[in-house]
Amino acid sequence: MFILRNFILTVTTLLDWGLTLYLWIIVIRAVISWVNPDPYNPFVIFLYRVTEPLLAPIRRRLPSLGFGIDLSPLIAVAFIFFLKGFIVKSLIEFTYLLG
């Protein structure tokens, strides 16, 4: 049983790190959007390609506020905090029950 416990704990740790990294990528994209970034910069292209699959569906479902502020990064960050607080912590607690 300890092998399953260690496997789940390792996967959970990797998931937590991945979610934290993705959170920071979204924050960096939001901060860069405050200035006028060069759309041909490879770093900006990377940020858009990585974050757009999550932000675009949120943007489609959010009503337009009319004053040009994009709230989709805020919603995405809240969603990531939910995943980290609920799913990651639940998996960690589950591993404690295993062994």
pLDDT tens profile 22-62: 999 999 999 998 898 999 999 999 999 999 999 999 999 98
Average pLDDT over residues 80-93: 95
DSSP H helical ranges for the chain: 2-32, 42-61, 72-82, 89-98
At residue 64, the pLDDT reads 72
Residue 84: helix, strand or coil by DSSP? Answer: helix
Tokens of 30: 């939001």
- What is the pTM for the complete model shown? 0.88
Domain definitions of the chain by residue range? 2-60+70-98
At residue 18, the pLDDT reads 97
Q: pLDDT band for 69, please (50, 70, 90 cuts).
A: confident
